[in-house]
Amino acid sequence: MQTQSSQASAATRVGDADITIVSDGIVTFPIDFVYDSAPAEEVTVLRSAFRQSPDTQTLQSNVMVADIAGRRVMVDAGGGGKFQPANSGLPANVRAAGIDPESIDLVVFTHLHPDHFWGATDEDNAAPTFPNAELIAPQPDHAFWSQPGLDEKMPSEFAAWIARTTQAHLEQLASRIRLVGPDDAILDEIRYVPTPGHTPGHASLLIEQGDDALLVVGDVLTDPVVSFERPEWAAGYDADGAQASTTRQNLLERLACERLRALANHLPWPGLGYVARHEGRYRWVPADWAV
């Protein structure tokens, strides 16, 4: 079974802008954590039918670098190996793709979960991974993760550890972070689109160049089968399951109706594709099927 990306980088374009997708490795979760509120037998049958493990959800970590309007923009910064050891390939793969980490001008976060944010510093959280980059975070997500005493409000010791470690990273990077409203522009060509639920301030990113566009959907769509066949099922890693389900269904409908190309951070490498609506359900159509 293939669990790692077979390539470290992939390339596409949005209008005139060059897009490089770089792997940060994989993250894995027990299925009974991810779909703890869904009917277990149906989860197993559905995943098995599509050759997905009934026990473990293995997600790719696809990170995008765009050369757009004279700026080099990265979307999310990976996990730096601090959340899960196999979620750590970004710095090496960025260099292998011919991208100097010092050349990144902006890192734009979809949300501040460990596998997207902790990679913004080195393994000791002592130095920034992308030393010349301004960091852009969606304001509502930053407000959530910055709350004093957040760890004490968390439902488990694991979640409390995530809260404490995220706050240590926010502190280390405070002088570099700029907050942007959930549906505001970051550059003329890049704007946030609010997609809350997975985290309170989760935001997707719409990249438009000429008459071409790409929507980076963050963690709204994580599972290549369940997110499309049963978008109404909440996931254990969604902060607000009901809100995340509503967001997911609205986003799927938009992607399908507008035939908008998507980049999904956790879908099978490299995470580029389209959403098809078929017989009342949705399907993920990898971009290289669209010829």
> Which x/- pattern over 153-192 shows residues binding Zn ion (rule: CB under 5 A)?
----------------------------------------
For the bound state, the minimum distance from the C-beta of residue 138 to Zn ion, rounded and expressed in Å, comes to: 14
How many chain residues interact with Zn ion (CB under 5 A)? 2
What span, in angstroms and rounded, lies between the C-alpha atoms of 1 and 233? 26
CB atoms within 10 A of CB 57: 22
Q: Does 24 bind Zn ion (CB under 5 A)?
A: no
Least gap, CB of 120 to Zn ion (angstroms): 14
Q: Tell me the closest approach of the beta carbon of residue 110 to Zn ion, in angstroms.
A: 8
219 is a site residue for Zn ion (CB under 5 A): yes
Q: Which is nearer to Zn ion, 44 or 58 (CB)?
A: 58
Nearer to Zn ion, 206 or 220 (CB): 220
What is the CB neighbour count within 10 angstroms for residue 45? 11
Give the closest residue to 121 by CA, choosing from 179, 73, 171: 171
10-13 contacts, C-beta under 8 A, 24 or more apart: 10/269, 10/270, 10/272, 12/272, 12/287, 13/212
**In this chain, which stretch among 109-117, 184-192, 240-248, 251-259 interacts with Zn ion, using CB under 5 A?**
109-117
> 152, exposed or middle or buried, with CB in 10 Å at 0-12, 13-18, 19+?
exposed
d(CA 78, CA 5): 15
Provide the token pair at 30: 């027990």
The single residue among 17, 104, 106, 115 that binds Zn ion, judged by CB under 5 A, is 115
Candidates 34-42, 76-84, 214-222, 226-234; binding stretch for Zn ion (CB under 5 A)? 214-222
The span of 82-90, 133-141, 206-214, 217-225 binding Zn ion (CB under 5 A) equals: 217-225
Stretch of 31-39, 88-96, 107-115, 132-140 lying at the interface with Zn ion (CB under 5 A)? 107-115
Tell whether residue 238 is a contact of Zn ion (CB under 5 A): no
* Minimum separation from the CB atom of position 1 to Zn ion (A): 21
Helix, strand, or coil (residue 213): strand
Least Å from the CB of residue 218 to Zn ion = 7
Distance of CA 226 to the CA centre of its chain: 17
Q: Strand ranges (DSSP E) for the chain?
A: 9-14, 17-30, 56-68, 71-75, 106-108, 134-138, 177-180, 185-187, 190-194, 203-209, 212-216, 262-263, 272-278, 281-286
Nearer to Zn ion, 219 or 238 (CB): 219
Residue 223, interface with Zn ion (CB under 5 A)?
no
Q: Which stretch binds Zn ion (CB under 5 A): 28-36, 114-122, 170-178, 240-248?
A: 114-122
Q: Strands, E, within 130-189: which ranges?
A: 134-138, 177-180, 185-187
Which residues bind to Zn ion, rule: CB under 5 A? 115, 219
